[in-house]
């Protein structure tokens, strides 16, 4: 059988098994589901480092040490957030309305190559927490590490009492397989994390979908900020796993009066400012002739990027920075760069910085994330009211703040971008996004009550009108 046909048949078989398993799983109590989730988290703990090394070696993106932390975040940190969350059966009762959590069914989990093992852990856990089954579609460039991650979770779930087939993963990875998974009638919801084309395909599949667009978050260092701490946070974020988290900063904006201090601090902490020739060399390497990002830059260190583009930089360089004045689709520095590369913009005032931020986001990254470093609450609120983002992060690293690591946002590796970003939600996706809520509502009034209320209102208005007419007539007669 041809590979594409074989992969389609595999998807159909996985969905058939998952449907039977999920129908049984949907009868489990909240306590039984929670026990399965607990056992899965306990098991995956034992493999975080091995899976991180697998992902780094297979993809060539980032570094395994940071991927260990991401795996831990997607399991242990996430578990602490969701362990007491009610998702099944009666959720709450108030004002004569009972809310009941209902599983959606089967989730299609599309996993990217940038955060492969951590995203697989996260999506499997939140899907099962909502009483759903899941079939995972791995990115071909991270296929083995994703399959191994899902295998561990699947065996742990089965051992804890989950039905056979509740968790599936495509072994024969093809575009046709992913398309079949997304469009199949037994797929209830697509949870899509990855490239813009794939997310658009998910939304156009005819199946309900939650997808996220690209990030391109600017970071504004306002003049009242602690400059040294702001720079530390930005560089910590941009170098974490070599910048592959889409919430990481893509540009820095400063006011003119702060420029010198910020530049000195950036250089002090390991940033290298490119000259014009170097900026052009790296820019030509970043952006391909068709206007898309060169995948060779993804998750590489600053030193490796310099080497690949023919630039000599100091051996302690952590981030490459290009000073820019233009924002456009053709300017690679004003686009999303999943690598330790930053644009640097200088503006006359915070108002101009506000406008520049919007300009950057309108080119790419609408609805996603931006960061502001400031001690001026009024300016922070001005940014909050005007920026087309779903997350405005204050005084925190963008990559870790956006996913809920260094903030109190919901821990998530799928970040909704809202309608402005072409997404169906602006949430950090949790199990609550993967359930339907059935509402049981008691009657509190009768038809006569509604009619009586409306009649009395009309009668009252009529009396007021009649009184006004009498006064006008009396006034005319008196004249």
Backbone angles phi, psi at 243, to 5 degrees: 80, 20
Two tokens, residue 176:
């046709």
Backbone angles phi, psi at 320, to 5 degrees: -100, 130
**3-class DSSP state for residue 109?**
strand
Question: Which sign does the torsion angle of CA 54, 287, 426, 200 carry?
Answer: negative
**Alpha carbon separation from 416 to 142, 236, 337, 410 (Å, rounded):** 23, 23, 19, 12
Instruction: With beta carbons less than 8 A apart as the criterion, state whether 400 and 237 touch.
Output: yes
Rounded Cα–Cα distance for residues 216 and 293 (Å): 13
Nearest by Cα to 128 from 383, 461, 456, 435 = 435
User: 455: which residues sit within 8 A by CB, 6+ positions away?
Assistant: none
Rounded Cα–Cα distance for residues 144 and 287 (Å): 29
Find the catalytic residue in 246, 354, 417, 460.
Answer: 246
Instruction: With beta carbons less than 8 A apart as the criterion, state whether 125 and 76 touch.
Output: no
CA trace torsion 339, 342, 343, 345 (10° rounding): 150
Instruction: With beta carbons less than 8 A apart as the criterion, state whether 91 and 100 touch.
Output: yes
Tell me whether residue 185 is exposed, middle or buried, using C-beta atoms within 10 angstroms of its C-beta: 0 to 12, 13 to 18, 19 or more: exposed
Two tokens, residue 44:
């995956």
246 carries an active-site annotation: yes
Letter string b/e over residues 52-89, b meaning 16 or more CB atoms within 10 A of that residue's CB: bbbbbebbebbbbebbbbbbbbbbeebbeebeebebbe
Instruction: With beta carbons less than 8 A apart as the criterion, state whether 210 and 416 touch.
Output: yes
Adjacent-strand bridge partners of 439: 99
Instruction: With beta carbons less than 8 A apart as the criterion, state whether 240 and 115 touch.
Output: no
Instruction: With beta carbons less than 8 A apart as the criterion, state whether 353 and 346 touch.
Output: no
Pairing state between β 271-273 and 319-323:
parallel
Nearest by Cα to 291 from 299, 282, 283 = 283
Pairing state between β 89-94 and 97-103:
antiparallel
Active site residues: 246
């Amino acid at each position: 059988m041809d590979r594409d046909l074989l992969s389609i048949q595999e998807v159909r078989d996985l969905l058939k098994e998952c449907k039977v398993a999920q129908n049984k799983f949907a009868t489990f109590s909240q306590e039984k589901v929670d026990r399965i989730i607990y056992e899965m988290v306990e098991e995956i703990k034992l493999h975080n480092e091995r899976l991180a090394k697998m992902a780094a070696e297979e993809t060539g993106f980032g570094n395994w040490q940071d991927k260990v932390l991401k795996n831990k975040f997607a399991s242990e940190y996430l578990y602490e957030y969701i362990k007491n969350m009610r998702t099944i059966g009666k959720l709450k009762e108030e004002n004569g309305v009972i809310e009941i959590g209902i599983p959606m069914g089967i989730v299609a989990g599309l996993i990217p190559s940038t955060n492969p093992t951590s995203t697989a852990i996260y999506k499997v856990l939140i899907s099962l927490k909502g009483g759903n089954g899941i079939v995972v579609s791995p990115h071909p460039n991270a296929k083995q590490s994703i399959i191994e991650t899902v295998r561990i979770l699947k065996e742990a779930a089965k051992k804890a009492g989950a039905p056979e087939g509740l968790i599936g993963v495509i072994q024969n990875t093809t575009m046709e397989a992913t398309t079949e998974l997304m469009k199949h009638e037994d797929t209830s919801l697509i949870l899509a994390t990855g490239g813009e084309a794939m997310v658009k395909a998910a939304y156009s599949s005819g199946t309900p979908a939650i997808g996220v667009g690209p990030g391109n978050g600017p970071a504004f260092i306002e003049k009242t900020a602690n400059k040294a701490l702001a720079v530390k946070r930005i560089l910590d974020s941009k170098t974490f796993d070599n910048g592959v988290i889409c919430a990481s900063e893509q540009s820095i904006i400063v006011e003119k009066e702060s420029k010198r201090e910020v530049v000195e601090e950036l250089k002090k902490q390991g940033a290298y400012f490119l000259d014009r020739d170097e900026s052009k060399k790296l820019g030509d390497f970043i952006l391909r002739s068709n206007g898309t990002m060169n995948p060779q830059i993804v998750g590489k260190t600053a030193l490796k990027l310099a080497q690949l583009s023919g630039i000599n930089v100091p051996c302690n360089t952590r981030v490459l920075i290009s000073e820019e004045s233009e924002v456009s689709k053709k300017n690679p520095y004003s686009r999303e760069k999943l690598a330790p590369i930053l644009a640097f913009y200088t503006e006359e005032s915070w108002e101009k910085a506000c406008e520049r931020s919007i300009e950057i986001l309108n080119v790419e990254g609408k609805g996603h994330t931006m960061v502001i470093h400031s001690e001026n609450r009024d300016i922070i609120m001005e940014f909050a009211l005007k920026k087309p983002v779903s997350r405005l992060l204050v005084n925190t690293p963008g990559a870790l703040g956006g996913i809920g690591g260094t903030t109190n946002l919901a821990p998530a590796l799928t970040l909704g971008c809202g309608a402005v970003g072409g997404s169906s939600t602006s949430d950090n996706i949790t199990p609550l996004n993967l359930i339907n809520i059935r509402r049981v509502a008691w009657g509190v009034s009768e038809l006569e009550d509604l009619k009586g209320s409306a009649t009395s209102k009309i009668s009252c208005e009529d009396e007021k009108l009649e009184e006004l007419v009498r006064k006008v007539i009396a006034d005319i007669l008196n004249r």
